[in-house]
Structure formats: C-alpha cells, structure tokens
Structure 1
Amino acid sequence: MTETVSESAGPAPIGKTGGGQRGLFVATILVGSFLLFLVQPMVARMALPRLGGAPNVWNSAMLVYQALLLAGYAYAHLLGRLPLHKQVMIHVALLVLAGLTLPVGLVSLAPIAGLSEALWVPLLLGLSIGPVFFVVSAQAPLMQRWFAADPQSGAPWALYAASNLGSFTGLLAYPLLAEPLLTLRQQSLAWTAGFGVLIALVVAAALARRRLPEAAATAAADTGAEAPIGWRTVTLWLLLSAVPSGLMLSTTTHLTTDIFAMPLLWVIPLGLYLLSFVVAFSDRRGAVTSISCVTPVVVLFAGGYAMMSNSSGTLWMVGGTCLLLFCVAAALHGRLYDLRPGTGHLTRFYLTMSAGGALGGLFTALLAPLVFDWAWEHPLLVLAAAALIPLRPLLGWRERDGIEPGVARAVLIVLLTLALLLAWWIGSNLLEPGGALAAMLLSVFLMGIGIMVMAWRGAFVAIVLMAMLGQGGIWTIRATVDGERTRSYFGIYTVRDHAEDKMRTLAHGTTLHGEQSLDPARSHEALTYYGPTSGVGLALSAVPAIEGPHARVGVVGLGTGSLACRARPGQTWTFFEIDPVMLQFSTSGRFTFLHDCTPDARVIIGDARLELGELSPGAFDVLVIDAFSSDAIPMHLLTREAMQVYLRSLAPRGLLLLHISNRYIDLAPVIGTTAQDSGLSALSRLDIPKDGMGYTPSRWIALSRDAGPLNALARAHPDTPWKRLEERAAEPWTDDHASILSHVRWENLTGTP
C-alpha cells in the first residue's frame, strides 16, 4: 500500500545519543500516563455525592476523558508543526498555567434546567478536570515527537506501549492503593505533587534536546512527510480505534447490567483495553500475532453471548466477555500498528486514533442510551469487530487453493444453512429444562462451521450473528418487540409479566427491584424485599404505635412503589426518585401501588441527598433509604455526611430505615460504625421468608437518636426478633474517604449470582 510509509516496518537502531536518553522520555511518558488514569477514577469518586454510581455516570466520565484526550492530541499535532524550541516554551507554559487550577476538585455547577444528565455530567466533569487533563493528555504523542527529533534515537512507537503501561498502572493503583489508604483531599494533594514531578521531567526532556540542531530536529520530524496518506487509510485508522473504544464501554455496560453486577468491575474492561495497546505497540510482534490468530475463534465462542440478557452470568461468563474484549482490542490495535505511518505523521496518526476512540465513546456513552432500549451497542460492536479483525483461514476454499468457484459457493450455502439450523436448535434447547448441555454441544458445532468459513468475511460475520441469536438473542429481541424494556441514563429496566404465577416484575439489570401480583386479591400486597416479616414491613406496621397516627413518612427510592400500600390513614407520604422513568412505571399504570394506596403522595424527582437538604429540618418521622441501582453501591448515600442529612430531616424521635441487601458487599459493618460515630442506636433484621410466597430474603437496619422507638419496635414483634447491630468497620465511610474492598464478599463472586 503506497499510503503506508516504509520506515514504519521496524525500529531503527538506537544510537548513542538517543539510547542514553530513552529512559528519560520513557519515564516522562510513564508518569504522565500514570497521572492521567489516576485522576479519572479520583474525579469520578469526588462526583459520587452529586452524581451517584450508575454505570452510565462512569461512561459519561469516560466520554469526557476521550474528548479531552482528543483535544490534547490535536494540540500536540498542531504544536508539532512549530520549531522544537517553541514547542518547549508553549508546552511548559501551559503545564504551569494548568497547574494553577490544582488541587483537583469539582467546580460548583448546579444542574441546568432542561439539560439532560447525559450532557450535564460531561459538562461538570469537563469544567472540573479539563485544563490539567488536556495538557497531560498531550504527553504521549508530544514526548514521542521530541524523542524522534534526534535522528539517532530510533523509532518512537514502543514508547506508546510504555504510555499505556503507565495508564494501566495508574488505573489499578487507584482502587488498590489510593482509595483505601488516602482521603480524597490527600489523593488530590498527592496528584498535585505528581504533576510537579511531571513538569520537572518535561523540562529535563526539553533540556536533553537543547543542543540538537534545529535543522536536524526538523529533518527527523519530517521524515516520510512527503508520502501522502489517503482518506481510506485515515478511515481505517478511525474504525480500528473506534471499535475497541466503544467495545470497552459496552462491555462495562453489558457486564454490570446483564451478567454480573460485581463491584469495581468497570476497572477490568478499561485495564484490558489499555493492556491491548501495550501488546499491540510492542517492538516484539510475537504476542500480538498469536493473539490475532486466535481472536476469530474467541469472537465465535465468546461473541456468541453478546445478546444474552437473561441475568444468568457467572465468573466464567465474565471471563469470556473480558477475553473477547482483550483479544479484539489487541488484534485491531495490532492491525492499526501495522498501518502506522512514518514519524513525520506521528501526531496525525495519534490524533486520528484519539478521534476514533472518542467516536466509539460517543456512540456508546451518549447515543446508545438515547436510541436503544437495551445495550444493543454491545452486539453491534462485536459484529463490527468480526468485520475488521484479521482473518487467517484455516481451510483453503478459494480458487487459488484449487477449489472450483461453483463448488466453493455450494459448500458455503450448505454450511450456512446448517449453521442456521444449529442456531435455531440451540435456542430451542435453552428453553427446555436440562437443555443447557445439549445447547453447549450444538454451539461447539456452530463455532466449528464458523472456523470453516473464515475464508469468507461475510459468512464469518453471519455465523457470529447466528450464534448471538441462538445464545439468548431471540429472547432479547422479543423483549424489545414486546416493549418490556425501558432505558434511561440511570439504567436498563425490564418490566415483565409471568403468566404462570400471575406476577409483574421490575428488574434493573441483574437485580429484582420489585413485583406486583396480577391477582386482584393480592395486588396491594408488598412483595420481594418488603414482605410482612421484612424489616421495613415490621417497622411500618409499628409506626402508628411508635410515632402516632399522623406520621410523616419519606421513602428514598420509588421502585415499583411497593411500600405505598403499607401507608395508613392519616399518614403523609413523600417519595424521592432520581430517575423519572421509575415514576412513569407508576403513573402509566404498569404498577398501581402508588395510585391505589397513596394517590396524594408527593413524589420529588432528583438526587435524594440533595433534595433532602433543601427541606425543612425535622420534616419526617420515618425515613426509608432504599436506593440501590442493580447491585451498585450508592456510596454517597451511606457516608457520615449523608447520615447527617438524614438526621437533619428526621424528628428528634424519628426512625431511619436502611435497606442493605446485597450479594457482593457486606454493608452492615459500615452502617454499624457510622451509627456509632453519629451517636445512633441500631437494630438489624435479617429476613429469610418461606419460598413460594413472592417474598425474597432481605436485611434492613433501623436507627434512631432515641433508643425508645427502637425498643418499641422490638417489643411490637416479639415473634420476629430484631437484633442489635454489632458489626463494626475500622472507620466510617465519609465523602472524603470510603473503600469497598474490605467489605467485598469474595466467596460470592465465584458462584451464580
């Protein structure tokens, strides 16, 4: 291909001058990339009290980072056109100016009326982190250009692998070291110190090039600049960058929504994405070549589950999905590396890569939630990957292999027909009791056909699509056609009727959030976590005796509205709900608890912590906190500061009820320590109801400043005892410092959730 410059075939030998200074440039790139990916989760953590922990909040944050990365790469590209000494002056000056915005913190920006969260969140994060992120993001391409300015330095591409290694290290350092050990204030100050080290390294790198003749630097930078790069190559660069970027975000959504809502799961896809660059941009090509060879097989096997939405994931499913992401990203980035230009086009190449990454993020984080009712972007991106990954046919079906074209076409038609039948049989067996083993065996045969047709790109993509349809895709499509799902910025909800037991359920990802009986005799009965022997059921039935007949009750988290039918005449109820879609389920009649039992209840849309802060002190006698998103932990609703907001909203003898049921996090020690820290008495109720009644196990914590209401609560139901909350964490969670690592139920991560 004439559009690819010949110098890119391999690195030039490292000369004496360049080799001696290579370590300095590697260190500068490593530190910059480390800081870049350390600040990402740090700012997202700072935003928790204002934004919550929904997966789309992280996706929005990633979209901001990709946009700023694109801007930084564009700046590096434009700056690279200037003489080296001017590049140094401008870049160091911008680093110093950006440093004036430190330490890192959120700007004071209230939600803007009429502006959706999908736009307001990026605006908030962009204004908060924009200056330093922009200038640091230019480090990788700019330092490579300065490195390549010395003709004796050799090719700079491996330095990009070092950049992503630094990014990966920074990403892991945050949840494993920074968050558990440092408060947000300390993290911000430490990051500021690291920024100072980065400035010193940039100055040192500039000094290392101070004696380089300007003519030599210009000649080195312009190597290969005369070779034109056509729009087809640029378009391919964009696609090869966009698909892995979008797939990284869609994998996060798909995993946390439909497979395994495991804490800190978002770290894994991003880490694998970064590692793929380390492999793909290495001077040693053995690893990426091997990965590219097996990627089609991985796409056939793991990609076949990309349309699964039946909430039946295990760690094996997580492993397969993550393996798919890593192999696809490494293969596509490896192909991107093979199409790299000469060093004269270095910054343009990285600018295009960044633009592709931003486009992938834009599609997944911004457009998909607005257009799709489910995470359809994930299977679409897997199919796009199947159309782009390198294919090395294992069988010779072409004319050049001695096969007649007519024979090859006939074989292809037969294989595709058989594959279609296999996909149908797989779907049929999945519906049958005990049919999982048969479906697995049929899947192996289907994947074998996929391997056989790798000589035809279109046929290969078709087999991947058939596998998706057979492995649960038909169910997912049916749910969309039947209008069972609704997607908002805060999640993907499924409302489904079950004729066999006359139930209508609401699920958020993998978590059941409530159900209502379609039997008129039970239609007002609170089910799931809210049954008569649950902590909240016992407490609300005792409220008239404890707080009087005119109690004021507040509920954070509407769900199906199940608790509404536990209201008593004379009581005043207020619901807080962050997602307007949840209210629509009640107002449209899909769930009738709210309409039938508390038609006069006030429903406040917005973040409950912020909205409670706007109310008058002592507004409630009872406050129920039930605001989980799938299995995500709303850390900002469980901190010391949040507890003070709740206590401010409660009457002196008020009762606070917290729902802490969770498969993977033990929240009882956190609540116990926070209650002790706030001077509260606490009781715990673990309810394990009998099967078959529509109730599910739950754990509720009751807290109060005054021990009297809790004693009365315990006496009201002697046959269903409450226990004193004895568990304690090392320290309470605060807005400034909280970590879930020590509270993870690791033993639950190995089984089916």
Structure 2
Amino acid sequence: MLQTARTTPPRRGLFVATILVGSFLLFLVQPMVARMALPRLGGAPNVWNSAMLVYQALLLAGYAYAHWLGRFALKRQAMIHLALLLVAALTLPVGLIDMPRIAGLPEAAWVPLLLGASIGPVFFVVSAQAPLMQRWFAAAPEAGAPWALYAASNLGSFAGLIAYPLLAEPLLSVRLQSLAWSGGFAVLVVLVALAGFSRRTAPAPVTQAHAAERIPGRTIGLWLLLSAVPSGLMLSTTTHLTTDIFAMPLLWVIPLGLYLLSFVIAFSDRRGPATVVSRVAPVVVLFMGSYAMLSNGSGTLWAVAGTCLLLLCVATTLHARLYDLRPGEAQLTRFYLVMSAGGALGGVFTALIAPLVFDWAWEHPLLVLAAALLMPLRPLLNWRDNADMEPGMARIALGVVLAFAGFLGWELLETMLDPEEVLFSLMLTVFLVGLGIMVMAWRWGFAAVLLIAMVGQGGFWTVRATLEHERTRSYFGIYTLRDDAEGRFRTLAHGTTLHGMQALDPAHTHDALTYYGPGSGVALALAAVPAIEGPQARVGVVGLGTGSLACRSQRGQDWTFFEIDPVVLRFSTTRQFTFLKDCTPKARVVIGDARLELAHVAPRSFDVLVIDAFSSDAIPMHLLTTEALAVYRRALTPGGLLILHISNRYIDLAPVVGANARASALMALSRLDFPEDEVRYTPSRWIALSADRAVLDRLARQHPDAPWSKLEERAPEPWTDDHASILPYVRWSRLTGNP
C-alpha cells in the first residue's frame, strides 16, 4: 500500500483543472445550444422545458455511467472513458443536426429527440467528469477526501453559466462559440488523459467497502429530498422573481448561479462558511420566506436580493446537511447518482408538474415550507427538553405562542392595505420571526409560524385570487384576469406586465386602450392603411393579447392574428375580452411561434404586418434578427408596411431595429407616444419600416398633428441568428428605480 502511494501521487491541481474545465464546458453548452435552437424551434417555453429534460436525463445518465465504470480497474476506466470522449468528438462542432421531422411523432417527443441526437454524445460523456475525476483522485491513498473537488466542479459550472451571457454571446458568433467550445473539449480530452496516466498504477476498486457499507433506504430517501428541494426551489425562485417581483431579462441566471455556489460552500473542506450559513438560515427563512406567497409585484431590488438570499441560504443549508450524510469514498458515485436523481425530480416537479397542477407559482411557497421541515434547527429556547418544565406546560406555551403568531399575522394582513404602514408591517414581521425562533424546538411549530407569516404577508390575497379563479397558468406564463374595484376596466396581466385592458362601459367597450391609444404609432399606422395600401388591405398581427388591435380594423380588410399561447386565445373566444369577436369576427388566428408560422405562409400574403411581441420584459430575440426581418419582408408585399412595438422597461431596442433596418435596406420612422390620460393609456414606442420610402412619406403626412420622426439610433452591428446579445442595450439605471 505504501508503494502504491508513492507511485500514485495526489496531483490535486491536475484533477481540479480537469473538473473545472469539464464543468465549465457543461454549463456553457446549455445556453449555447438553446441559442442555436431559437430560429429553428422557436421561442416557445415548452421547447426550453424539453431541453431541460434532455439535459437532466443526460446528466443522470452520465452519473450512472460513472457509477457503472467504477467496477473496473483505474487503467481500464481511463481507456473506456477516453475512447468515449474520442467517439463523442466525432459529433463536433456542436450544433443542431439536420434531422427531418418524423411523421406522426408529436412535438413533445420530436424536440427532445432532436436535441438529444444533436448534443447527447458530448453532454453525456462530459457530465460524467465530476464524479469520475473524484473517484480517480481518491485512488491515491495520500490524496485525502475528494469531496472538495465537487465544490470545484460547481465553481466551474458557475463560471460557464456566467461566461455565456457576459462574454461568449456578446463577443462571439454562434459559429465561433461552437468552434471555441470544440477547442475546450480538446483541452479536456488531454487533461483526462493526463489524469488517467497519473493513476495508471492505482489498484482495482475495493469491492469489500461496497459490501461493508450498506446504505439504508431511509438515508437514500433523505438524499433525494435534500437534493430535490434546492433544485426545485432554484427553478421556482426564477418563476417567482420574473413573474411576480421583478420581470427583468437575464434574471434567470442569478438563481442558477446561487444554486451552484451553494455547492461550493457546502462541499468545501473548510466547514466554517457552511456552518455560519446553516445557523442563520432559519432566521432568513422566517423573514424572507414570509414573502414567498406575495403576488402583487413589489418590483424592488430589495425584494430580489431578499429572495435570492433565501435561495442561497436554503440551498447551502440543505446541501451542507447532504454533505454531512455523505457515505464513504467507495460509495462516491452512488451518492452523486442519487443526488442527480433528486435534482431531476425537483426539476420535473417545478418545470412540468407545477404548471399543470397550479394556477400560480404555488410550488415556491411549498418548497420553502419543505425546506423549513428539512433544514437543521438549533433551538435557542429548548422548551421541549427542558427538565424544569413539564411537557404539558411546554405544549401550552407553544399553543399560546402560535395563537399570538396568528394574531400578528392577521394584523400584518390588515396593514398591507395601507402603504403608509410600511414600518409597522416590518415591525410585525420581525415579531413573527422572533416567535418562530422561540418555537424552533418543535419543527412543525417553526413551519406553522412561517406559514402564518406567509399568509399575513400577502398570501391571503394570493389564495383568494386562486379561489376566485382570477388566474390561468400555462407553460407560457401566469395570467391574471381582473376587474378593477370600480368596475370600469378588465385587465390581463402576465405577472407584473400588463398585456391589455378593456373598458366595461358598453359605450367604450371597443376603445383600444393601454399601448394602442389614439396617439400610438400602431393606431396612426392602421388608420392610414386605407390611404396607403388600399381599402382591402391584408393585415397580419403577431401577438393577440386581449385583441385590442382588432378594433383598429376597418371595413373590407382581411385580418390574421399569430399567437403562441392557446390560453391567450381562450380569453377572447370565451368573450372575457370581446375585441376579437366584435370587431374582427372573421379573422384567422394561427397558433404557434410567429416566425416559424410566417415562414410557411405564401409570399406577399400581407400588406401590413404588426409585430407586437416586445411589450413584455422578455425579449424573443429570434423575432428581431435580420433573418427574421427577411421572413417578414417575404410575407409582405414590396410596398408593405411593417410595424414593430419596442416598448420595454429595461431594454432599449431602438438601436437594434435601426441597425437591422439599415442592413435589410429598410427605411424606418419612430413614434413615441406619451398620452395625457394615464389611466386608460400607456406610453409606447412603435417603429414603422418599409422598403418603399413613399409608403413612409404618406404615413407621416396622414397625421401631421401626431408627428413621426426618423429613426436615428444605430447599434454598431445588426442582430443576426448567428450573433446577437441584449447585454449592451440594458437600461441599467432602471434596475435601481431611476427613470
């Protein structure tokens, strides 16, 4: 054994580098392939759900492969793994394969098949890196425990995740990204070969250890839960933030990054940071977890920071408990296999089951409560086991505390209706946190105080909205249909973003409100269409919403709507919004991704095309590239009019449109509308484009009192399917609340 130790030195740096490179590539390729898939598969969320399922399945398969490989001697493992790496290299560079659609195969099965066939080989073999390299590292008797290498793995994953939006996407085209990734894969193969060579004399696996350490089923079940809850909470935090708190692009990166960082802290050899986080986590869960049922769109950076702090504390605490329950090194790959299965279960619950079962992001408070039931609790006041207090008296005291917590929760609910009672609400929340700390000796009592705080902190109104069926949920989002207190308007909101409004007064029920008021660019353009394109113009609209634009139609025109979400169409067909039925009853509605559907219409099918897909805060990038403009131009007549809606709180799209218009030989006019009636109408910006300058000249002359201006903004480069990034156009000042 001593001789073996001398011939197989630890070489910790080599293994850390191998793990870092593998994890970096793994999390870099995920957004890269998603970006590649946009033009071909569209931007439907079910495509991303399918992609995430493929990634989770491949990750689980990679961990299972690493576990299976452990039965061989290290030399044989290295030979097999290197052979698979070289076979996978034959599929490079990364990209979607040219696979035709299979007749009769549903989209839900075809998309995972396409993605799996395109990225499956490299993703599978790279995903095995972390557990496999840890096992090889531990084969040297003097190497020490390998668990800290898992922290290095997640550090590499975090770096890859951040590198894509910050470096790869802004600086490199999709083709260059693919080539650069292939270069990184070559480096990984060399590192794996060196790591395998350094362990060439290591002994065969010690199978006796497997037999000696029998893991109870209860422990395996606990591993699954401790892995599933943080994974699900990471996804639910993303949904909760982007839907109900702060609809900011790129926000999804933050929860995933914090989730990865939690592994770095929890699996580190230095236990101090993990211990500190675990000690403060119950307080954070009580305070920030109380906001988990809030659905009124608080929209502040403090709310975002608090929600992210909650995720980091919960994930670190549960992963630290997972670390404390780790088995011996002989069971390393089995441990990671169960962890991967738990992560996949959490993802399936949040990404697939929850949207089908719940009308709102109820999975988020449920997972916070589950975390409260799983995290270690170290009571400051241990009434339960206090020898000086009778058990009966302890239970009575617990009941009194819970009753007082219920009273404070009711008071908190009352103060939420008054904006001037912010400080009093904060004080009540702090008192509830104190009561939760007092009952930490009873885990269910701790969870009960947390639930009371959730309901008092706005959860009551969220529950009421569910009971009154105000919300509808699909894979595309959470929609809230609500009449105002005075009964004047009915609104449709997607999270915090208003998607349309209709007046309930019969005299004004056909008025186009919000972004479509009389001074808006689209209203002016549609009013001018008979003079520009003739009385029988064919009009296409991308984005149905409430159907407001239908009532901008005129006699003799032929209208077609393109809408990605069938649920949105249902609001119009059930007459919850009557614009479509009343104003364009013969209009066609095409369900699907607009760019893909427009690519299949006959050339010159429309005289006017309105693209109204940018009013929310998520940018469907593939609808605004030069290739997308080519699709629109093909669908338009040579003298057709293209109208783009680019109103957005956080992204300045005007320079992008200006650069794309110039690259596509299109002229462009801009219309900024700041209506005086801020109750009925919303500020908006619309861009009119045409290949015929005379068309825009006639448009500008139609309404001299509502002037259009020449679009002067220009990005340095146009957006293309191969290269586009929203990062340079983010209005960073808006994130802090400045105009």
TM range (shorter): over 0.9
Amino acid at match of 1:193: G
Residue in structure 1 matching 2:423, options 437, 441, 448:
437
Going from structure 1 to structure 2, the CA distance change for 1:751 and 1:588 (only over 3 Å counts) comes to: same
Contact 1:56–1:365 (8 Å) recurs in 2: no
CA 1:246 to 1:629, structure 2 compared with 1: closer, same or farther past 3 Å?
Answer: farther
Cα distance in 1 for partners of 2:738, 2:502 equals 25
Pair 115,533 (structure 1): closer, same or farther in 2 beyond 3 Å: farther
Change beyond 3 A, Cα 1:109–1:296? farther
CA deviation string 1:505-554 (max 9, x = no partner): 01111100001111100111100000110000111011111111011100
Render the CA deviation track for 1:421-452: whole Å, top value 9, x for unaligned: 11111111112342333222211111111111
Question: Amino acid of the residue matched to residue 55 of structure 2?
Answer: Y
Find the aligned partners of 2:180 and 2:555 in 1 and give their Cα distance: 56
CA distance in 2, matches of 1:87, 1:47: 34
Number of residue equivalences: 737
In 2, the alpha carbon distance for the partners of 1:225 and 1:151 equals: 20
| Aligned 8 A contact 2:667 2:691 in 1 | yes
Deviation at 1:107, TM superposition (A): 3.3
1:645 has 2:635 as partner: no
Task: Confirm or deny that 1:240 pairs with 2:226.
Answer: yes
Aligned to 1:294: 280
| Partner deviation per Cα, 1:151-190 (whole Å, 9 max, x = no partner) | 2221111111111111111111111110111000000011
- The residue aligned with 2:159 is 169
Task: From 127, 130, 136, give the equivalent of 1:137.
Answer: 127
Residue 152 (structure 1) aligned to one of 142, 159, 167: 142
Q: Is the 8 A contact 1:450 1:464 kept in 2?
A: yes
For residues 478-493 of structure 1, the aligned pairs below 5 Å read 478-493=464-479
Alignment of 1:336-735 (within 5 A): 336-400=322-386, 402-628=388-614, 630-735=616-721
Equivalences for residues 5-84 of structure 1 within 5 A: 20-53=10-43, 58-84=48-74
Q: Which deviations, in whole Å up to 9, do the C-alpha atoms of 1:57-89 show, x marking residues without a partner?
A: 545433332221111101111111122222222
Counterpart of 1:519, as a letter, is: D
Q: Do residues 282 (structure 1) and 254 (structure 2) align?
A: no
Cα 1:364/1:662, change in 2 over 3 Å: same
Of 626-635 and 592-601, deviating more is: 626-635
Q: Which amino acid aligns with 2:458?
A: G
Q: Which amino acid aligns with 1:317?
A: A
Give deviations 1:600-658, integer Å, cap 9, x for gaps. Answer: 00111111111111111111110000124731001000001000001111111110000
Partner secondary structure for residue 521 of structure 1? helix
* Structure 1 residue 566, shift from structure 2 partner: 0.6
Contact 1:29/1:140, CA 8 A, preserved across alignment: yes
> How many percent of aligned residue pairs carry the same amino acid?
73
Contact 2:242 2:251 (C-alpha < 8 Å) held by counterparts: yes
Q: Which amino acid aligns with 1:733?
A: W
Look up the equivalent residue of 2:156 and give its one-letter code. G
User: Bigger CA drift: 738-747 or 462-471?
Assistant: 462-471
Q: Provide the secondary structure at the position in 1 that maps to 2:11.
A: helix
Q: Once the 2 structures are TM-superposed, how far is the Cα of residue 24 of structure 1 from its aligned partner?
A: 1.0
- 1:218 aligns with 205
**2-structure distance, mates of 1:727, 1:426:** 49
Answer with 114-123 or 542-551: which moved more.
114-123
Q: What amino acid is the match of 1:732?
A: P
CA deviations 1:348-373 (Å, max 9, x no partner) are: 00000000000001101111111111
Alignment partners' CA distance in 1, 2:59 and 2:347: 12
Residue identity opposite 2:198 in structure 1: A
Distance across 2 between alignment mates of 1:160 and 1:665: 37
**Shift in alpha-carbon separation, 1:702–1:483, aligned structure 2, 3 A:** same
Aligned to 2:85: 95
- Residue 466 of structure 1: CA displacement? 1.1
Decide whether aligned partners of structure 1 residues 391 and 73 sit closer, same or farther in structure 2, where only a CA change above 3 A counts.
same
Q: Residues 18 and 154 of structure 1 are in contact (CA less than 8 Å); yes or no, is this contact kept in structure 2?
A: no
Alignment partners' CA distance in 2, 1:485 and 1:394: 42
Counterpart Cα distance in 1 of 2:383 and 2:99: 62
Contact persistence 1:73–1:138 (CA under 8 A) = yes
Report the CA distance between 1:146 and its aligned residue.
1.1
* TM-score, with length taken from structure 1: 0.95
| Pairwise CA distance, 1:403 | 2.3
Aligned AA (2:333): T
Greater shift, 149-158 or 728-737, is seen at: 149-158
Deviates more, 1:627-636 or 1:651-660: 627-636
Q: Pick closer, same or farther for the CA change 1:110–1:490 going to 2, 3 Å.
A: farther
RMSD: 1.9
Q: Which of residues 169, 178, 183 is equivalent to 1:193?
A: 183
CA distance in 2, matches of 1:112, 1:591: 38
Change (3 A) 1:545 1:619: same
Q: Does 1:305 align with 2:291?
A: yes
1:54 is displaced (CA, Å) by 6.1
CA shift digits 1:165-220 (9 cap, x unpaired) = 111111111111101110000000110111111111111111111123xxx3423x
Distance 1:330 1:222, change over 3 A: farther
Contact kept in structure 2, 1:222 and 1:343, CA below 8 Å? no
Q: Distance in 2 between matches of 1:372 and 1:600?
A: 34
SS at match of 1:434: helix
Helix, strand or coil: the match of 1:676?
helix
Residue of 177, 198, 202 corresponding to 1:208: 198
Moved more, 431-440 or 624-633: 431-440
Write the distance in 2 (CA, Å) between the matches of 1:207 and 1:157: 22
Amino acid across the alignment from 2:139: A
Q: Is the 8 Å Cα contact of residues 301 and 735 (structure 2) preserved in structure 1?
A: yes
1:265 aligns with 2:251: yes
Name the CA distance, whole Å, in 1 between partners of 2:115 and 2:358. Answer: 25
Q: Is the 8 A contact 2:278 2:313 kept in 1?
A: yes
Q: Taking structure 2 as the reference length, what is the TM-score of the superposition?
A: 0.97
Secondary structure at 1:263 match in 2: coil
**Distance verdict in 2 for CA 1:534–1:154, change over 3 Å:** same
